[in-house]
Amino acid sequence: MVNVIGLGYIGLPTALMLSAHGVEVVGTDYNTSLVDTLRQGKTTFKEDGLEELFRKSLDAGIKFSDKYQVTDTYIISVPTPYDKFSKKVDPCYVIAAVKDVLKVCRKGATIVIESTVSPGTIDKHIRPVIEEAGFEIGKDVHLVHAPERIIPGNMMYELIHNNRTIGADSKEVGEAVKKLYASFCQGDIVLTDIRTAEMTKVVENTFRAVNIAFANELAKICRHDNMDVYEIIRICNMHPRVNILQPGPGVGGHCISVDPWFLVGDYPSLAKVIDESMKTNDGMPDFVLNRIYEIMKANGLTDITRVGLYGLTYKEDVDDVRESPTLQLLESQERHLATGLKVYDPLISTDMVPNQYHDFDSFINDVDLVVLMVGHSHLKENLDRLKDKIVLDTRNIYHEPGTYKL
């Protein structure tokens, strides 16, 4: 039996995928409300294919509990928040989970940490916890790091098809964990040491963050001289060795917007390019806010309450608002002692911010300037509703004459 600890955006799909492919699984989370919801046969977030996988897992016998199980294999997939000031990861949830596993695990148990951590976290924080509890690593307990590599909006496909990295102290233990993930993973599964596995996951997301920052900086340069950054990127990407990503209103989610800070926090005197790149990305919501004020002035608009932000999630077609650029923009507005922007997102049914609409028609009717923050499918199906509005398009999806871009 495998006990999956933490049933959030990563832990739940992992538990379901294992169960649906013949592995006996108990999913554990301290959030009793979340556990009760799962026991009632309901998922806790929206994701394409999640409901179908959930049904298959229920049929296969998956169980949910708020208690840690007595078994020999644990997968820990709990959050790893970072301090926005020190830029260092806080491994407290991982440490707490490991301590609780040690209270119940069988001798020789394997603890697989899926949570993304900064390089060296397992050596600095997890090994000492295990040793202080009187366990001998490699005999009483085996440690493995198997960082996830999936993205909201495409989780089911990527869980199956993406390559994986497994870091272990011994090849034998690594092979056993590889066999477990191979029950569903069709991608290559690479075995390495734990420190390398920690580093590769963070470096992957850091590479994308730096690439996005380059695109965002290009957008600012092109705005300064009234050039079309999208056309420039399109032409540059025709070169076989160039692949510039698209600029946007900011970077959200719990990977690209967070993981690079682990390196900055741990190597402040070395990670200079990463540091500046992250500052560029973090500054984009402010840049968009300034564009809003510029466009209002150019069009004689004086009432900020006639400006609406379409999109509250961090990316299209998901209900995930973690590190959302829209939320960052609203926070920036508050810091400037201003409020009033209207907000609408078809995927967010609960009230999260002031002036949030739940009806698209009412939202469109009550604004003169629409800022496209997220390119949901819903928006692409309703672009005709924008024809009489002033539009600031931060996602390059609306191409009518007169549309403002970043």
Are residues 71 and 105 in contact, defined by beta-carbon separation less than 8 angstroms?
Answer: yes
Pick the catalytic residue: 185, 222, 255, 342?
Answer: 255
Active-site residue 255, yes or no?
Answer: yes
Determine how β-strand 141-145 pairs with β-strand 164-168. Answer: antiparallel
Active-site residue 201, yes or no?
Answer: yes
Pick the catalytic residue: 201, 315, 342, 405?
Answer: 201
- Residues marked active site are found at 201, 255
